[in-house]
Amino acid sequence: MHPSIHARHASEKPAIVMAASGRTLSYGELDARSNQGARLFRREGLGHGDVIAMLIENRPEYFELAWAAQRAGLYYVCISTQLTPAEVEYIVKDSGAKLLIVSPDQRIAAALPALLPDVSLFALGKGGEGYRSWDDEADAELASQVPDERGGTDMLYSSGTTGRPKGIKPPLPDDPSIAAPTSLTDVADRLGFGSESVYLTPAPLYHAAPLRWSMLVHRLGGTVVVMEKFDAEAALRAIERHRVTHSQWVPTHFIRILKLPADVRARFDLSSLRLAIHAAAPCPVPVKQAMIDWWGPILLEYYAGTESNGMTMISSAEWLARPGSVGRAVVGALRICNEAGELLPPREEGTVYFEGGSRFAYHNDSAKTEEATNAHGWTTIGDVGWVDEDGYLYLTDRKSFMIISGGVNIYPQEIENLLAVHPKVSDVAVIGAPHSEMGEAVVAVVQPQDQTDATPAFAAELTEWLRPQLSGVKMPRRIDFTTELPRHPTGKLYKRLIRDKYWGNS
């Protein structure tokens, strides 16, 4: 299916509703605008397999442009609005994008023309210095489909939490039809998505999961409710106001919602919600248990990466029997391997690989692609974990975040999960800092709910609170405080930035 098909039969149905402003785009409008965009891409000389990039916050135009590129057979690169001009320059040049579209709200837009002299630059709205007006030029195009339609796809970059972002450029779909199924189609069918779905996306659309699941809902003819920016209370209000049936979250969202006062949480009618999907990072067990206690057994967790090399999934019922698991494989076959790439038995910890999933390559980085593939042809995105005898996966952490202290491997996720549920902790990151004797020392960097708690006394309180729950080697040697952690809006932590400060690389 494809939104163009729904435009023919339900042109007035809302395809997109902005949660705060209420701004709505119908299927008919989405189809017309994406056709005009595709024609403008053609007029700019872009053909099948070419690349465009977008630097835009959450707004309806995001989908107009994504669907325009998709039906023109292009790759569309979605760039984080949190990046610096130099970081945007790197992604645009590395991806080979010939055209960049920015929104008028982007504070860094003025710096880009000088950095990207060979790229066609457009801005939504009236344009500006160095930018042509996308709206004016797209409005001048016909709203009928381009004669050489072909299915395109996204080319997304990793969040860059451990270094420079990596571009994942899949081959264009084998089936050139713009309505060809995607890898999520079968999954969505099993989960009850359909034309009556009202799907809430609280995260930025430049991230893989919000973008891909939202576009999947458009393929099925449902309505996507987009939060301009996440706010815990506003998310609950959006569920009630729009009678949301399906939604997608990350653990950070759950933690912030749970820390709302009880009377605020009880204020909203959430009875329409049938499925709450979550991913992006392992969810602390007490947090997920609290969400199931509140929302009921409607949580569904999956584990996958932007690389789409495999996927696991677990229902609430399964999770309640196996707390902490992220499920069994639904795309590809799970393989846990040692450092030599050889298969490990159940309950032994190693690198998580998938066999038989989609192949992927890191754009312009054959070494990283080769590093992600073992001798069996299985692929990994660098996570560590183990499986039980029934094939359920338990994630430990990312390999690159591992702390080696006195020769002992320590994964920060376990410590972070404990501290995150402390009632006076807003956010936390655990890293390894240099230590003359141990090599690395475990350091917890805590963002308190109340900054007046950023005291040695509170650090001691947290230490005593942790002590019964952690072995001695995992206990933080230091607890430092910060006003805010550098967290990606999707919930991922820029741990590299924190670690660099301790290692003198900032």
Q: 3-state SS string over 142-206? A: CCCCCCCCECCEECEECCCCCCCCCEECCCCCCCCCCCCCCCCHHHHHHCCCCCCCEEEECCCCC
Task: For residue 222, give every residue at least 6 positions away whose Cβ sits within 8 Å of its Cβ, in sequence order, or none.
Answer: 193, 194, 195, 196, 197, 198, 199, 246
- The model's confidence at residue 67, banded by pLDDT at 50, 70 and 90, is very high
Q: What is the pLDDT of residue 162?
A: 47
pLDDT tops 50 at residue 35: yes
485: left (phi over 0), alpha (psi -120 to 50) or beta: beta
Looking at every residue in the chain, the average pLDDT score rounds to 91
- The model's confidence at residue 411, banded by pLDDT at 50, 70 and 90, is confident
Topology of domain 27-176 in CATH is Rossmann fold (3.40.50)
Average pLDDT of span 35-59:
97
Please tell me the distance from the alpha carbon of residue 107 to that of residue 387, in angstroms, as a whole number.
Answer: 46
Task: For residue 295, give every residue at least 6 positions away whose Cβ sits within 8 Å of its Cβ, in sequence order, or none.
Answer: 270, 273, 276
Domain regions of the chain by residue span: 27-176, 403-502
H/E/C letters for each residue in 300-362?
Answer: EEEECCCCCCCEEEEEHHHHHHCCCCCEEEEECEEEEECCCCCECCCCCCEEEEEECCCCCCE
Average pLDDT of span 447-476:
92
Residue 59 tokens, joined: 């707004």
Please tell me the distance from the alpha carbon of residue 288 to that of residue 140, in angstroms, as a whole number.
Answer: 50
Residue 211 tokens, joined: 């973008």
What DSSP element (H or E) covers 199? strand 198-201
Strand partners, 49: none
Q: What is the pLDDT of residue 505?
A: 60
pLDDT tops 50 at residue 222: yes
Give percent above pLDDT 90 in the chain: 67
Q: Are strands 99-102 and 156-157 parallel, antiparallel or unpaired?
A: unpaired
Report the amino acid identity of residue 315. Answer: S
Decide if 448 contacts 424 (C-beta within 8 A): yes
Closest CA to 289 of 276, 299, 278, 275: 299
- Exposed, middle or buried, 143 (CB in 10 Å: 0-12/13-18/19+)? middle
Average pLDDT of span 119-142:
94
Hey, which bits of 231-316 come out as E strands? 246-249, 275-278, 299-303, 311-315
pLDDT tops 60 at residue 161: no
Q: What is the pLDDT of residue 64?
A: 98
Please tell me the distance from the alpha carbon of residue 151 to that of residue 122, in angstroms, as a whole number.
Answer: 23
pLDDT tops 80 at residue 349: yes
CB atoms within 10 A of CB 437: 7
Decide if 351 contacts 383 (C-beta within 8 A): yes
Residue 106 tokens, joined: 């982007």
- The model's confidence at residue 270, banded by pLDDT at 50, 70 and 90, is very high
Average pLDDT of span 496-506:
78
Residue 254 sits at φ, ψ, to 5 deg, of -60, -45
| Range picked from 185-194, 289-298, 367-376, 488-497 for highest mean pLDDT | 289-298
Decide if 209 contacts 203 (C-beta within 8 A): yes
Q: What is the pLDDT of residue 197?
A: 96
Q: Which residue has the tokens 């690159």?
A: 400
Closest CA to 291 of 257, 334, 325: 257
Superfamily of domain 403-502: ANL, C-terminal domain (3.30.300.30)
Q: pLDDT higher for 160 or 273?
A: 273
- Exposed, middle or buried, 303 (CB in 10 Å: 0-12/13-18/19+)? buried
Closest CA to 53 of 1, 113, 100, 5: 100
- The model's confidence at residue 445, banded by pLDDT at 50, 70 and 90, is very high
Q: 3-class SS at 30?
A: helix
- The model's confidence at residue 506, banded by pLDDT at 50, 70 and 90, is very low
CB atoms within 10 A of CB 296: 14
Please tell me the distance from the alpha carbon of residue 102 to that of residue 123, in angstroms, as a whole number.
Answer: 5
pTM beyond cutoff 0.75 = yes
- The model's confidence at residue 11, banded by pLDDT at 50, 70 and 90, is very high
Q: What is the pLDDT of residue 488?
A: 67
Closest CA to 146 of 60, 63, 66, 70: 70
Q: pLDDT higher for 46 or 435?
A: 46
Decide if 287 contacts 255 (C-beta within 8 A): yes
